Amino acid sequence: MFSTYLVYYMLGIVMIPGIILGIWAQTKVRSSFNQYNKVETKHGKSAKDVARFMLDSGGCVDTQIQPIKGELTDNYNPSTNIVSLSESVYNQTTIAAIGVTAHEIGHVFQHKNGYAPIKIRNVLVPVMNISSFLMWPLIIIGLIMEMSYYVTAANWLIYIGIGLYALNIIFCLVTLPIEINASNRAKKMLLATGEMDTEEIKGVEKVLSAAAWTYVAALVTSILSLLRLLLFVFMMRGGDRN
């Protein structure tokens, strides 16, 4: 059986691959963005103007566009129907800025067209909010009850807590194709509307592909986090005993 010291050691090192992948992904995103944020598009339109044109052309005339502070903080909020573009994107006329903008517009059309993974994620969001609040109390209470010999009830609480924690993996699994699909929509829209040519799209593809790796890193991290939790429970339940 594992010794207590070995389990403590494993709890520490199990997250290292996820941390390394996350740092690499973030570095790749910033490197790609900075590279293509120095390359002007041929048409010279600002990101906000491209966003407005795409939205209007697709029948989303009610969707608003606003600037937001920060770098790469761009997002679409379906509850307010607002596309927020970061300071490093909003007024820029570069390949990177237009690519990031088109990605967010891709999310708008996902909601408009009823893209299935978006519907699934919308259902998961409130569940995730509840699970993040309940999972650790359930696990801790279960471990305490187990020491008091309420084994059956304790097992159920622990398993439910672990199950709630595992929802993070499902959420990441659903999010990944959503982001990839938004990027694919972005590239198609930019070509179809004539906002970019095939040569410029190559730069957009590099920026958005780099961004996709951050979601891969999130998925890997969530899997490793679950593994760490299982090791923690194993240790607390006396898994190191012979």
Q: Supply the residues annotated as catalytic.
A: 104
Q: What are phi and psi of 230, to 5 degrees?
A: -65, -40
Which H/E stretch holds residue 75?
Answer: strand 75-77
Select from 4, 163, 168, 242 the least CA-distant residue to 155. Answer: 163
Determine whether 234 is exposed, middle or buried from the number of CB atoms within 10 Å of its CB (0-12, 13-18, 19+).
middle
Select from 237, 223, 227, 8 the least CA-distant residue to 139. Answer: 237
Select from 60, 167, 71, 65 the least CA-distant residue to 121. Answer: 167
Q: What is the C-alpha to C-alpha distance for residues 148 and 240, in angstroms, rounded to an integer? A: 19
Strand order in the sheet with 64-68: 64-68, 82-86, 75-77
Contact (CB, 8 A) for 32 and 52: no
Taking the chain, what is the end-to-end CA distance rounded to the nearest angstrom?
A: 6
Beta-bridge partners for 86: 68
